[in-house]
Every structure is written in C-alpha cells, then in structure tokens.
Structure 1
Amino acid sequence: MDEATLVKKLRWRCRRGMRELDQLFERYLEREWPTAPAADREVFLFLLDCEDDKLWRWFMGYEACPHAHAVPMLDRIRVLKA
C-alpha cells in the first residue's frame, strides 16, 4: 500500500468519537508520522487499537499505561502543540 493511501486509512482510524482523542492522534499523524521510524509507527498503530476510555485515562494521567513500550509515545503525543 502506498504512503498516501496508508495515511488516509490512518486518518480514519484516528477518528475516535471523542474530539480530544481525535485531535491528539491527528496531530501526531500530521506532524510526526511522515518521518517516524518503524518502531514508533508500530507503537502508534498499537495505540490506535486500544480502547478509547483507556486511552483517555492514559493521556490525562488518571491511570498509568501498563504497556511500557507505549509510554514514551503517549508522552510525545500529549505535548504536541495545537
């Protein structure tokens, strides 16, 4: 699959039904994805597979993410400016 098609599919997957999560994921997709190494891309895809309520608690710091490999990505996405 070419990169443009992949990004379109990912943009759809970034639509979570919770505007705040939508914005967090879309910021990463627009700003970081194009130059992200394969390992970071895998973690981002992992996060897209997680449940919204868990993601929200992890991003807001209400609950620690039990997946150590995802914590740096959560932190990076959290600090991206609007």
Structure 2
Amino acid sequence: MRELELMLEAFLRREEEALSGGQWPEFEALLACEDDRLWDWFQGAYDGDSSKFQSLIDNIRQRA
C-alpha cells in the first residue's frame, strides 16, 4: 500500500536516531503486521492487537 509506505518512510527518516535508542525491535515488530491492519490502526481503528504498539502508532500518526 503506497500511502502506508510513504507514511512509514517519512517517519523513519525523521526518527531513525530515536529508534536507534531502543525502539527498533518494536518498530520491526510493527512492520511485521499486515498492511491492511497497519492502515486501519493508523486511521484510528484500534483493536486488542494494536495495544502493544499504541504509543508507536500514535507517534507515527502525529508525525505523518
């Protein structure tokens, strides 16, 4: 999904150094999720599975 790629790429460029400070494993785990599910989460449709990524999802949404 191109929109998702653009959002995540922009976030990664801005936050790469911060991710290096300890959030890389969480970011990599988030990227392992299905694109449709990620897109729903970034659009605000949260479910039980999104709770472990909630702060990272919110961070990405704020900077997108």
TM-score normalised by length of structure 1:
0.66
Number of residue equivalences: 63
**Superposition RMSD on alpha carbons, in Å?**
1.6
The percentage of counterpart residues that share the same residue type is 37
Structure with greater helix percent: 2
Kept in 2: contact 1:57–1:63 (CA 8 A): yes
Larger Rg: 1
Q: What is the SS of the residue equivalent to 1:35?
A: helix
1:79 alignment partner, SS class: helix
Match of 1:57 in 2: 40
| Structure 2: gaps (5+ residues) | none
Greater relative contact order, per chain length (Cα 8 Å cut-off, separation 6+) = 2
**TM norm structure 2:** 0.81
Flag structure 1 segments of 5+ consecutive residues without an equivalent.
Answer: 1-17
